[in-house]
């Protein structure tokens, strides 16, 4: 493979709504560019980018896939990202590695939630963007409606570059507005130039003059000299149009719009051509933001600078080991070299390096600044920066969504717990939006992610890759018990069975207090209970508070004071006084008006303004207390509320449904509160059933 320099490397992430045609577009691009010898189909499971067995079975992308290929003197790293909202972390990883985001929009469905999220991610990370209206061959496709929608939603930066010509509702040709040439495609997807029509639509809603004016105005905005030329009524040359759109993409002023059909290959060659002409090269984009020695820093894409490579994605593989996607930000990364992990300070040994085209791996000796390659068997995690010792810096990665949906995990086969734990650890390293940890209160192993499908896929990977079978269930709620009244209880343990007997007698006061643990005091006068038995009494009570008298939940907020008692010089023992303390505990707890406590959390939910009423109504149904609302940017509102933990298990699914994926939330434990009396019997029954 030829070594490409940064000025010839184009890093492009394919992003957009689920089923908007990303993988099919990638397949068509690879086929037309000659990187693939056949045009695969998602339905047949033969695409380059969706090669995982689970992706083939589900007919959709579940992870970001790298497909690198050369075309017309450029090296193009294409990153096909999933559009399913559960795998938003994969999409962010792909966009972070890219320099340009190619956002697919279905000509049938138009702008969707995934379109907006992909565009927002590109804006937030400072990436240039390009819209491709896909599935233009669909009988229900309407390119010009979608173009109008794009302009309405995303503003004046939207600029048409390739548009279809319609006659009687059918596409007859395509116009490249930069070249001002029209092309017709044959059944093999080959383009032939034809005469330029005067309008693009039969109703003359979109005339060619208007489309050309739109692209000219957009280019004029990018440069003062071009603006002056525009006002003087002079025509822009083709080079000025190309350079203007190129510069406008790079600084965020222009978002070009093209159209393609992955089925007929119409427009694919023009899209590949625009990759070379319009898309910024790796060395033209803004320097990567980083931190060095606690200060803000920039990493310029320069092959002669000290090495800096960002680990933008990791893949757990039981056979190859861990594979890491590395974006070389600066310098040159060589196989069999030693680098420094800026997070740990430890040295990493780089073994072999590969370029990837789906699952096809091609070994390379090195990669220069701007390129994306894969390394195997390194210990670095997603988001780590690998550096030359001469300059240790940490490149910034986007903030990944917090896990918001949790299920309890249990190994199907007894003794498989270690296998499950090891496999889960590998999956968590692969996916920053996945967590696996033991709940300190319930002792359950909890798997958390972004939704049902996210956790389902994690379990499938655990089974197929690591041979560990698990079952998922709703997590237990960490209820507590406490008391509301002060009482005094007596506990006497007396047993005689020949020889030494057992005798312990205590009088203990129980009262409410503010504490997560039992508070023990003694106020014994006159030696009625010898001091050497005080620890036994406390130990007996500490064992008892692990289970309350209502549902067997741990007891909190109790203060126990040993007041009096008696002992036998021969028959008394530590065990006898522990038993006496437990008798007093059971008696006292029943008299002290015990109550169940449920966990209360603070909820911050951000959603579009039009959904706030529905969400507040839902929180009221879930016994939540809304504390306030605060408008945020882009027509969204953040609602703050206090909510019971037991009511929030499926809130992530509700929020996604009502906001169509635009909402997000965080949930943080706040305190415990008494459970409403009408729920007591239900909770006791559920806790008892859990064992």
Rounded to 5°, the CA angle 426-427-428 comes to 90
Domain final residue, candidates 473, 490, 512:
473
**CA 686 – CA 551 distance, rounded (Å):** 9
203 falls in which pLDDT band (50, 70, 90)?
low
Same domain as 460, residue 350: no
Same domain as 442, residue 506: no
Same domain as 391, residue 337: yes
Pair 598, 675: CB distance under 8 Å:
yes
Q: How many domains would you assign to the chain? A: 5
Judged by average pLDDT, the poorest of 49-58, 62-71, 228-237, 645-654 is 228-237
Same domain as 331, residue 266: no
Average pLDDT, the chain: 92
Do the domain assignments include residue 283?
A: no
Pair 460, 54: CB distance under 8 Å:
yes
109: Cα within 13 Å, side-chain hemisphere: 16
Do the domain assignments include residue 282?
A: no
Report the pLDDT value the prediction gives residue 1, as an integer from 0 to 100: 47
Q: Which residue has the tokens 């090296």?
A: 75
Do the domain assignments include residue 13?
A: yes
Do the domain assignments include residue 1?
A: no
Same domain as 391, residue 255: no
Do the domain assignments include residue 438?
A: yes
32 falls in which pLDDT band (50, 70, 90)?
very high
* CATH, residue 180: 3.40.50.300
* CATH, residue 450: 3.30.70.870
Does pLDDT of 109 surpass 80? yes
Report the pLDDT value the prediction gives residue 204, as an integer from 0 to 100: 65
499 falls in which pLDDT band (50, 70, 90)?
low
* CATH, residue 568: 3.30.230.10
Residue 242 belongs to domain spanning = 6-277
Domain final residue, candidates 395, 422, 443:
395
Q: pLDDT digit string (tens) for 399-436?
A: 899 999 999 999 998 888 899 999 999 899 889 999 99
**CA 492 – CA 5 distance, rounded (Å):** 86
Same domain as 632, residue 571: no
Provide Rg for the chain, Cα atoms: 33
Q: What is the mean pLDDT of residues 555-577?
A: 91
Do the domain assignments include residue 583?
A: yes
Q: pLDDT digit string (tens) for 221-259?
A: 888 888 988 888 888 999 999 999 999 999 999 999 999
Judged by average pLDDT, the poorest of 6-15, 68-77, 494-503, 504-513 is 494-503
Q: pLDDT digit string (tens) for 465-479?
A: 888 999 999 999 999
Same domain as 511, residue 452: no
Do the domain assignments include residue 400?
A: no
Task: Mention every residue, 6+ apart, whose C-beta is less than 8 A from residue 598.
Answer: 477, 479, 644, 645, 646, 672, 673, 674, 675, 683
* CATH, residue 350: 2.40.30.10
Same domain as 617, residue 550: no
Same domain as 55, residue 168: yes
Same domain as 411, residue 446: yes
Task: Mention every residue, 6+ apart, whose C-beta is less than 8 A from residue 13.
Answer: 64, 79, 81, 91, 94, 95, 97, 98, 100, 101, 102, 127
Same domain as 486, residue 466: no
Do the domain assignments include residue 639?
A: yes
Same domain as 108, residue 45: yes
Domain final residue, candidates 226, 251, 277:
277
């Amino acid at each position: 493979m030829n070594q490409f320099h940064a000025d010839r490397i184009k890093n492009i992430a394919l992003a957009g709504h689920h089923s908007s045609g990303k993988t099919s577009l990638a397949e068509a691009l690879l086929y037309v560019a000659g990187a693939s010898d056949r045009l695969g189909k998602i339905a047949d499971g033969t695409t380059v980018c969706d090669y995982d067995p689970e992706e083939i079975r589900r007919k959709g992308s579940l992870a970001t896939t790298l497909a690198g290929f050369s075309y017309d003197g450029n090296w193009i790293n294409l990153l096909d990202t999933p559009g399913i909202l559960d795998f938003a972390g994969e999409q962010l990883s792909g966009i972070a590695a890219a320099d340009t985001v190619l956002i697919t929009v279905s000509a049938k469905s138009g702008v969707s939630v995934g379109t907006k999220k992909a565009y927002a991610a590109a804006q937030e990370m400072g990436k240039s963007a390009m819209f491709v209206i896909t599935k233009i061959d669909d009988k229900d496709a309407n390119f010009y409606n979608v173009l109008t929608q794009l302009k309405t939603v995303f503003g004046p930066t939207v600029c048409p570059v390739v548009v279809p010509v319609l006659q009687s509702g059918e596409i007859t040709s395509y116009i490249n507005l930069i070249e001002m040439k029209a092309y017709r495609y044959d059944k093999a997807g080959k383009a032939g130039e034809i005469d330029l029509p005067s309008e693009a639509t039969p109703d003359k809603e979109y005339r060619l003059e208007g489309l050309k004016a739109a692209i000219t105005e957009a280019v004029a905005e990018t440069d003062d000299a071009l603006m002056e030329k525009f006002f003087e009524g002079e025509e822009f040359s083709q080079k000025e149009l190309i350079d203007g759109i190129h510069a406008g993409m790079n600084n965020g002023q222009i978002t070009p719009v093209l159209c393609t059909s992955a089925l007929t290959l119409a427009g694919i060659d023009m899209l590949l051509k625009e990759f070379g002409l319009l898309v910024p090269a790796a060395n033209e984009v803004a320097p990567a933001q980083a931190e060095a020695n606690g200060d803000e820093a920039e990493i310029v894409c320069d092959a002669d600078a000290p090495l800096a490579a960002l680990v933008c994605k990791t893949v757990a593989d039981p056979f190859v080991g861990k594979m890491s996607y590395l974006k070389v930000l600066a310098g040159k990364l060589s196989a069999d070299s030693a680098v420094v992990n800026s997070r740990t300070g430890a040295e990493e040994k780089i073994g072999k390096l590969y370029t990837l085209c789906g699952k096809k791996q091609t070994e390379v000796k090195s990669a220069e600044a701007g390129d994306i390659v894969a390394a195997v068997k390194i210990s670095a995690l997603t988001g780590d920066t690998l550096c030359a010792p001469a300059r240790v810096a940490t490149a910034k990665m986007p903030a990944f969504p917090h896990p918001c949906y949790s299920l309890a995990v249990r190994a199907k086969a007894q003794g498989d717990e270690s296998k499950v734990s090891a496999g889960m650890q590998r999956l968590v390293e692969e996916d920053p939006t996945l967590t696996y940890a033991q709940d300190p209160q319930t002792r359950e192993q909890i798997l958390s992610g972004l939704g049902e499908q996210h956790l389902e896929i994690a379990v499938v990977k655990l089974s197929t890759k690591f041979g560990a079978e698990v079952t998922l269930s709703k997590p237990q709620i960490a209820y507590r018990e406490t008391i509301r009244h002060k009482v005094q209880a007596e506990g006497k343990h007396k047993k005689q069975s020949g020889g030494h007997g057992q005798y312990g007698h205590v009088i203990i006061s129980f009262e409410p207090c503010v504490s997560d643990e039992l508070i023990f005091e003694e106020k014994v006068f006159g030696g009625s209970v010898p001091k050497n038995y005080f620890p036994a009494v406390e130990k007996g009570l500490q064992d008892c508070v692990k289970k309350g008298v209502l549902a067997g939940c741990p007891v909190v907020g109790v203060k126990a004071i040993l007041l009096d008692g008696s002992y036998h010089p021969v028959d008394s023992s530590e065990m006898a006084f522990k038993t006496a303390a437990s008798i007093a505990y059971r008696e006292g707890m029943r008299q002290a008006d015990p109550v169940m406590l449920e966990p209360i959390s603070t909820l911050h939910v951000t959603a579009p303004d039009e959904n706030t009423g529905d969400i507040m109504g839902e929180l009221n149904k879930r016994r939540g207390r809304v504390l306030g609302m605060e408008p945020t940017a882009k027509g969204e509102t953040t609602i703050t509320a206090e909510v019971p933990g037991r009511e929030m298990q499926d809130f992530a699914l509700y929020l996604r449904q009502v906001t169509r994926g635009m909402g997000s939330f965080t949930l943080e434990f706040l305190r415990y509160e008494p459970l409403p009396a009408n729920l007591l019997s239900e909770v006791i029954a559920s806790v008892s059933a859990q064992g």
